[in-house]
Amino acid sequence: MKAFTNVTLYGSMVMALVLLSLNVAALKSNRALRELYLSNNNLNSEQDSMQLGDLLRHNSSITTLDLSNNTIANSGLEEICEGLRVQTNGLKVLILWNNQITNNGLVHLAKVLPILKTLETLNLGENNLQNRGIHTLRESLMMNHSLLQLGLEHTHITCEGAVALAEFLAESRHIQRLDVRDNEVRAGGLMALSLALRINHSLTSLDLDHTPKQEQA
């Protein structure tokens, strides 16, 4: 019998919660599962996130975790980061798109990023991170040596945040893709990113808006 290598949960909230509760215990010892997709399931920042954090503490075989379009929020991200903290190898892709995460939640991610050895893709798009969030992550991003793709689409950053990202790019020898579309990045931020690219030799894709934002009057 062929082993399952990915699981997708979707549909009603009740079904998703029951499935998650029943399966976490089994998944802790499962070494075949590689991809877990839990988007659009109304997962919350309390019981659901605690279970996910517990799963990550015990399972280092899952390489992809998609939690997009839920309400993990800051406290839920803390639980997930605590689970990631004990992984020596494992998760490569973490998608947190649209989860009501703010700068306060990124404090937990900043603590764990420097010790993650396998994380290659981190998508934080559609969260209200603002410039403060980028400043919170900047040094930790510099200290991480595994991250290849960083998604920051529509995270409410301006030129100030872009400058912080440029500082990260100037130091990074690994990052390959950065997505900053649908933000308020104007000429000053674009110039900072352009200057950083003269130093960075790893980035192969920088996603920007097709039409640059106009300068404010």
pLDDT per residue as tens digits for the range 65-109: 999 999 999 999 999 999 999 987 889 999 999 999 999 999 999
Q: State pTM to two decimals.
A: 0.89
Q: Are 135 and 107 in contact (CB under 8 A)?
A: no
* Coil, helix or strand at residue 25: helix
Chain segment 17-31, per-residue pLDDT in tens? 455 666 777 788 778
Spans in the chain with pLDDT lower than 70: 1-22, 215-217
Query: Which DSSP state fits 146?
Result: S
- Report CA dihedral (166, 124, 117, 36) to the nearest 10 degrees: -160
Instruction: Specify the CATH architecture of the domain 6-158+169-207.
Output: Alpha-Beta Horseshoe (3.80)
